[in-house]
Amino acid sequence: MREWTGRTATALQRALRESNETFAATLGLSPRAVAKWHAEPDSRPRHETQQLLDRVLERLSAAERTRFTMELEPQESNKQPPTTPDSGHALRVAIAVVVNDGNVLMVQRREDNGSTSWQFPAGMIKPRASAETTAIRETLSETGVHCRVTRHLGSRLHPITQVYCEYLLCEYLVGEAQNMDAVENVSVIWAPSDRLTRFIPAETVFPPILDALEVRNSERTDT
């Protein structure tokens, strides 16, 4: 590494698959320092910390080094989203990651094969509509929860559905979570955000979602 930033330091953390607390312990730092890298990706760690990161990088296994290299690749948001064959419009989905204290809003969706899966509230972005408006509208339509968008987490082609997804971090405002679409969904719950991977396999979760939830949980425990 030429010089470490908050972004590359958290890429190393994800390559190691460590939480804020364990990564901080690996470096001999406080979890607050790691949380700051997530919140300020362009920040520059101190010279002493840069040396600590260099040492951890040197000790990576082959698999960890491969994951680190993949984490450093440009965000898939630079890729062009697929288009619908009949309209020519880019096919995009807005996904709302709605947080309330230490919980995240989840819907249990019915699949075509008769099974179910846990997902975030989501909806197709119509032509000339914004991802933010779609996320807010679909969350209310599916769950009865009013929310506001606080941050755009990034975009990618979903590894399973191959649909182009826009991820929005949202804050709960008001409303009781309930299943407002019994045809599409089985249930709606507030799930503990630190147990998200019990509902969605870790390998399919968009990494910035886990980063954002870890930062919020760290901020809650520090206050």
Query: Dihedral angle at the C-alpha atoms of 183, 93, 118, 216, nearest 10 degrees?
Result: -130
- Helix axes of 47-58 and 6-16: crossing angle, nearest 10 degrees: 30
Domain range list for the chain:
6-73, 78-222
In the prediction, which pLDDT does 90 show? 52
Q: What is the residue type of 77?
A: S
Cβ–Cβ < 8 Å for 53, 16 = no
Task: Give the class (CATH, top level) of 78-222.
Answer: alpha beta
Query: For residues 15 and 68, is the Cβ–Cβ distance under 8 A?
Result: yes
Instruction: Look up the pTM and report it.
Output: 0.62
Per-residue confidence in pLDDT tens, the chain, 223 aa: 568 998 899 889 888 888 888 888 899 988 888 888 888 888 888 888 999 999 999 898 887 887 788 777 654 444 455 554 444 445 789 999 999 988 999 999 988 778 899 999 999 888 888 999 999 999 999 999 999 999 999 998 887 777 889 999 999 999 999 999 888 899 999 999 999 989 988 888 898 998 888 877 776 666 5
Q: Are 39 and 31 in contact (CB under 8 A)?
A: no
In this predicted structure, what is the pLDDT of residue 149?
A: 95
